[in-house]
Amino acid sequence: MPVLPSKLPNAGTTIFTVMSALAAEHGAVNLGQGFPDFGADPALLQAVTDAMAAGHNQYPPMTGVPALRQAVAAKLNALYGSAYDADRDITITAGGTQALFTALQCCVGTGDEVIIIEPAYDSYDPAIRLAGAVPVGVPMTADYRLDWTAVRAAVTPRTRALVLNTPHNPSGRVATEDDLRELERIAEQHDLFVISDEVYEHMVFDGERHQSVARHPGLAARSFLVGSFGKTFHVTGWKVGYVAAPAALSAAFRRLHQYTVFTVHTPTQHALAAYLAHPAPWQGLGDFYQAKRDGFRAALAGTKLRLLPCDGTYFQTVDYGAISDLPELDFAKWLTTEIGVAAIPLSVFYQRPQERRHVRFCFAKRDDTLAEAARRLRRGLAG
């Protein structure tokens, strides 16, 4: 047999697959992987059926169904005061991961450096390496805020881009307006591209608002903004997202996109376009998940877990230092097998694992699922 080379020789099975399999094996409540266990709006599901019945079953335009691109541009422009053109600036993608991958492939190359903010979602690092570039991890502060002093110190003449994620997975933190202004200064000073992962854009709590790169013209001009319908409409398995970027960046993105996936599922695009005509589902998403966050946090009050701030997303990070000295991965496995609740260790989201005794729960679950998880945690980790 010929030797099979690997472009990712150090990559293993993702932590999400590992913990979900362990949860299934032990009958644990799976609060690890970030997907809802409740259904989507029946109206959206019916819209897909209607689109198929109407004959929307062949290849759509490579850039996406026009009606969906128009709906995306209209939403972004109304929310953030941007000026994206549906024809030139919006591309429909096979989920957020493909959008991030393709954006990185088209703006960095061999020897370039890309700053990623750690803890960082696990697809960033391999996507950068597959482009021949070097990921440079910059840790957040102790309370998971963006550390701009550290970011500036990490910039070198080889730095080509920075990946921003807000609301932030896995910490649940949200970037502020000051954060975006500082990023704009750094990006302009060093002529950097920005890949902005904003898939949780509608999950911001406590009266705050999402700070998109689209709100800042200087950033928007050099950014690939990534969004996800799967996260917004509880259909993560559909894998449909989008990229918004100025015409020159979009043209570069599309040159690669056409040879990566070419097009995205046609009837789903038509269904999403029709569904976006009614903004109530995404406008109410922040309140919907804030209620779940508040209920879950209240239910954990009787445990020794220390709840860290959760400003957005559907993830709650906790400190288990008062319970165990186990490393995070070992604690997450113990929690799954002995307590019956699966979580994700934050240490896996760093290039150089930092053991801070933190794990992440997903609260995008039915109320009864969260109640059962909290019951098990209170029973096993009582304060």
Q: Say whether pLDDT at 12 is over 80.
A: no
Spell out the residues 6+ positions from residue 35 whose beta carbon is closer than 8 angstroms to its own.
236, 237, 362, 364
Q: Is residue 226 part of a domain?
A: yes
- Residue 222 and residue 74 share a domain: yes
Nearest to 33 by CA among 296, 237, 285, 327: 237
Q: Is residue 264 part of a domain?
A: yes
Q: Is residue 201 part of a domain?
A: yes
pLDDT in tens, 314-365: 999 999 999 999 999 999 999 999 999 999 999 999 988 777 999 999 999 9
Q: Confidence class of residue 11 from pLDDT cuts 50, 70 and 90?
A: confident
Q: Say whether pLDDT at 253 is over 90.
A: yes
Q: Is residue 10 part of a domain?
A: no
Q: Confidence class of residue 302 from pLDDT cuts 50, 70 and 90?
A: confident
Q: What is the pLDDT of residue 98?
A: 98
Q: What is the pLDDT of residue 101?
A: 98
Q: Which residues pair with 142 in a beta bridge?
A: none
Q: Say whether pLDDT at 274 is over 90.
A: yes
Q: What is the pLDDT of residue 86?
A: 98
DSSP 349: G
Which CATH number belongs to the domain containing residue 361 in this structure?
Answer: 3.90.1150.10
Q: Is residue 49 part of a domain?
A: no
- Residue 129 and residue 27 share a domain: no
- Residue 184 and residue 265 share a domain: yes
With a threshold of 0.85, does the pTM exceed it?
Answer: yes
Q: Is residue 373 part of a domain?
A: yes
Q: What is the pLDDT of residue 259?
A: 96
Question: Could you give the dihedral angle defined by the CA atoms of residues 380, 381, 382 and 383, in that order, rounded to the nearest 10 degrees?
Answer: 170
Q: Confidence class of residue 43 from pLDDT cuts 50, 70 and 90?
A: very high
Written in H, E and C, the secondary structure of 4-54 is CCCCCCCCCCCHHHHHHHHHHHHCCEECCCCCCCCCCCHHHHHHHHHHHHC
Q: Is residue 291 part of a domain?
A: yes
- Residue 292 and residue 270 share a domain: no
Which CATH number belongs to the domain containing residue 79 in this structure?
Answer: 3.40.640.10
Q: Is 74 left (phi over 0), alpha (psi -120 to 50) or beta?
A: alpha
- Residue 330 and residue 192 share a domain: no
- Residue 313 and residue 327 share a domain: yes
- Residue 144 and residue 70 share a domain: yes
Give the residue-averaged pLDDT of 158-180: 98
Give the residue-averaged pLDDT of 34-60: 97
Pairing of strands 358-362, 344-345: antiparallel
pLDDT in tens, 186-242: 999 999 999 999 999 999 999 999 999 999 999 999 999 999 999 999 999 999 999
Give residue 114's domain range: 57-277
- Residue 264 and residue 325 share a domain: no
Contact assessment for residue 104 and residue 128, using Cβ atoms and an 8 Å cutoff? yes
Report the number of distinct structural domains present in the chain. Answer: 2
Average pLDDT in the chain: 96
